[in-house]
Structure 1
Amino acid sequence: MKFVLFYHSLISDWNHGNAHFLRGIVTELMQRGHCVEVYEPTDGWSLRNLRAERPPGSLRGFFEAYPHLLSRFYDVDQLDPGAVLADADVVIVHEWNDPALVKKIGRHRARSGHYLLLFHDTHHRAVTDPESIARYDLEHYDGVLAFGKVLRDIYLDRGWAARAWTWHEAADTQVFRPIPCEPEEGDLVWIGNWGDDERTRELEEFLFEPAKTLGLQARVYGVRYPERALKVLSEAGIEYGGWLPNYEVPRVFARFKVTVHVPRRPYARALPGIPTIRPFEALACGIPLVSAPWDDIEHLFTPGQDFLVAHTRREMEEAIAAILNDRSFARTLAEHGRAAILKRHTCAHRVDELLDICRELRLSRSAKRKSRKEPAVL
């Protein structure tokens, strides 16, 4: 089949975690013999910021890590859906796209009707900024891929979509895997962006203060850290590493003994069951993980066996200390976590789910066409 995907960016992961999952999904589809084309806007926010922050040639590493991946750039006003989608079988449009593009492709689908059309949501705006999601015209879409059951239910309950499926993110285990024989560089590493104060208090409670209290050799990677955040890191004795391309993450994880997960407030409070992609990737790399509270209502993992959960600063300090002081325990925890990923949460699993959804939709459309052709019984 031919898949045509419209996403914010494939080649830039600057403050854009969905790029990690997209790369894994595209790779898996291509390895199964499918044709995949990815389109991203010429003025994409993530790529623009990456080019502004990093020196020329900073994208070279992406093309070396993913020589098989390529983006096609477009301008929404100039895009001709008839030409781009002429031989498409499945089209997926990500929610971080211009509403004009979403509507334009939907209208083409209504006229042509030959491909399946899905909308993909991997963000918390459905609860934090519902007006922005309501602007999307999904009338002619076959359904929504939502990265958590609670988000799927929001689309259905609010009438934004007639059909929706849960499609969690997952780890690209061809990239995110244990890297042996790396030199040790410290105790704790955290990889995450500062964002918009969506977890400032949580970072202080579950990362900065425990690192300071335990006297850890710690490092933080990410972008959008204001001066006050850098000052807090410095006062806690934490080194700041800046932006880290996601394909370099496994090697960094291999050089530290433990990492933590600190969910953003909208996920922890309003969208339970959605861990976002970072825990998937950490567990896939075989590093012990301690998570601040999030409610795994979909039973994706087994807390206490795949990773530890800390509900308070004190519990976080105790969990980190237990991992650092008992290497056998740390190894068992890491192995259990990686096994959970390999069993249920790889990009290969998500492609299986996507293909099942496509088969379901095609059977449904075939049944509708058949019922329209059958003569009425007198």
Structure 2
Amino acid sequence: MKIVVLGLSITSSWGNGHATTYRGLLREMDRRGHEILFLERDARWYEAHRDLPEPPFCRTLLYGSLDELFSEYGPEICDADCVIVGSYVYQGIEVGKWVSRHARGIKAFYDIDTPVTLAALARGECQYLSEDLIPCYDLYLSFTGGPTLDHLERHYGSRAARPLYCSVDPLVHFPMPVTPRWDLGYLGTYSDDRQPGLEQLLFQPAFHWRKGRFVVAGAQYPASLKWPENTHHIEHLPPECHSEFYSSQRFTLNLTRRQMLVAGYSPSVRLFEAAACAVPVVSDRWPGLEEFFTPGEEILVASSAEEMLRFLQRFPEEARRAIGERARARVLGHHSAACRAEELEEYLTSL
């Protein structure tokens, strides 16, 4: 198939998790024989941080305005077998309406931020999707499964809401033979609704366990933030450094945004990435977690600083490594980019 994707970014992973998702998925779609064009708005904040300016598995073109997008690339959008518009695309409503009117192939919306999207729709503040646009898409691909899919069809009139969860790229995320430098780490861009969890499950253990070693990697943290003395902050970590980063931790922390906690069934891409590196993950609690990992066997769950400290200070080393290995096996078998490409192909073929 000829597939056109209009997404937030594939050239830069700075401050977003979309790029790594698109890279793994589209590389695997390319391997399955599909021809892909990725159209990305030329945003100034990504310009200085393009860690993959020319992906080898798809043709990537940048545009500066909607006029340029439709005049230069409109014919390719119209002739594609499938057009996928992603969440957080700038002027996404206008893009989606144009695609729904002119594209002759399958029209799909890929929501990498489903709970955030639905919360914004409920407030009437979503900038990239509107209620009247949802039924115009033949397929709603969602990072969130469970009851949310039924809600999309019944309440918003989606023609077909299907899960296309985030995934991990085994070529990028894998265990590395390094000695752990940190007892607990976290990888994620700053978010107001994740910060309380970070302070409870990483900052507080760091304050109480002065001999422990902690690390946080991610952009956009406020300059006024008070970091524990034994916590190292890395401003930006490109995807090719993630494996070494995770492998350098005894445990890694997974945190879930508030809307995703409410919706449930919303695994984060960082969760799968860490598990693929065979580092034991300690996660906050969220509905549907057990559908992706078995608590106590493939993942650990903490609700307080005290629980986290017990894992960090008392968990047997052999059991720690075993949890990481079981999580890696689960991810490679069910949550790789190749698995998602196969699922996407099945959805498109059925339409």
TM-score clears 0.5 = yes
Percent identity over paired residues: 28
> Are the equivalent residues in 2 in contact too, given 1:134–1:160 (CA < 8 A)?
no
Q: Could you tell me which residue of structure 1 aligns to residue 300 of structure 2?
A: 308
Q: Distance in 2 between matches of 1:186 and 1:151?
A: 37
Query: Over residues 142-182 of structure 1, what are the superposed CA-to-partner deviations in whole Å (9 max), with x where a residue is unaligned?
Result: 120111124323321322422211111111112111122x3
Q: Does residue 187 in structure 1 map to residue 179 in structure 2?
A: no
* Structure 1 counterpart of 2:195, one-letter code: T
Q: Could you tell me which residue of structure 2 aligns to residue 217 of structure 1?
A: 213
What RMSD, in angstroms, separates the aligned Cα atoms of the two structures? 2.0
Would you say how many aligned residue pairs link Structure 1 and Structure 2? 338
Shift of 1:275: 1.9
Change in 2 beyond 3 A, CA 1:50/1:358: closer
* Structure 1 counterpart of 2:106, one-letter code: L
Q: Distance in 1 between matches of 2:102 and 2:255?
A: 41
* Structure 2 counterpart of 1:129, one-letter code: A
- Equivalent position SS for 1:294: coil
* Structure 2 counterpart of 1:177, one-letter code: F
Q: Distance in 1 between matches of 2:168 and 2:148?
A: 20
Q: Distance in 2 between matches of 1:68 and 1:209?
A: 43
Structure 1 residue ranges without an equivalent (≥5): 362-378
- Equivalent position SS for 2:265: coil
Q: Does residue 169 in structure 1 map to residue 162 in structure 2?
A: no
The worse-fitting range, judged by mean Cα deviation, of 115-124 and 151-160 is 151-160
* Structure 2 counterpart of 1:318, one-letter code: R
* Structure 1 counterpart of 2:239, one-letter code: N
Q: Could you tell me which residue of structure 2 aligns to residue 296 of structure 1?
A: 288
Q: Could you tell me which residue of structure 2 aligns to residue 128 of structure 1?
A: 119
The one of 147, 150, 155 aligned to 2:143 = 147
TM-score (norm: length of structure 2): 0.90
Structure 2 residue ranges without an equivalent (≥5): none
- Equivalent position SS for 1:187: strand
* Structure 1 counterpart of 2:97, one-letter code: K
TM-score (norm: length of structure 1): 0.84
Q: Could you tell me which residue of structure 2 aligns to residue 337 of structure 1?
A: 327
Q: Distance in 2 between matches of 1:7 and 1:77?
A: 17
* Structure 1 counterpart of 2:37, one-letter code: E
* Structure 2 counterpart of 1:152, one-letter code: L
The one of 89, 95, 105 aligned to 1:101 = 95
Map residues 1-378 of structure 1 onto 2, 5 A cutoff. 1-43=1-43, 48-51=44-47, 58-59=49-50, 61-62=51-52, 67-68=56-57, 70-74=59-63, 75-78=65-68, 79-80=70-71, 82-97=74-89, 98=91, 99-109=93-103, 113=104, 115-123=105-113, 124-130=115-121, 131=124, 132=126, 133-134=129-130, 137-149=133-145, 150-180=147-177, 182-195=178-191, 197-215=192-210, 216-229=212-225, 231=226, 233=227, 235-268=228-261, 270-296=262-288, 299-323=291-315, 326-361=316-351
* Structure 2 counterpart of 1:337, one-letter code: A
- Equivalent position SS for 2:16: coil
Change in 2 beyond 3 A, CA 1:73/1:238: same
Q: Distance in 2 between matches of 1:83 and 1:336?
A: 47
> Are the equivalent residues in 1 in contact too, given 2:142–2:165 (CA < 8 A)?
yes
* Structure 2 counterpart of 1:309, one-letter code: V
The worse-fitting range, judged by mean Cα deviation, of 200-209 and 82-91 is 82-91
Change in 2 beyond 3 A, CA 1:153/1:14: farther
Q: Distance in 2 between matches of 1:162 and 1:221?
A: 39
> Are the equivalent residues in 1 in contact too, given 2:37–2:58 (CA < 8 A)?
no
Change in 2 beyond 3 A, CA 1:222/1:82: closer
> Are the equivalent residues in 2 in contact too, given 1:15–1:193 (CA < 8 A)?
yes
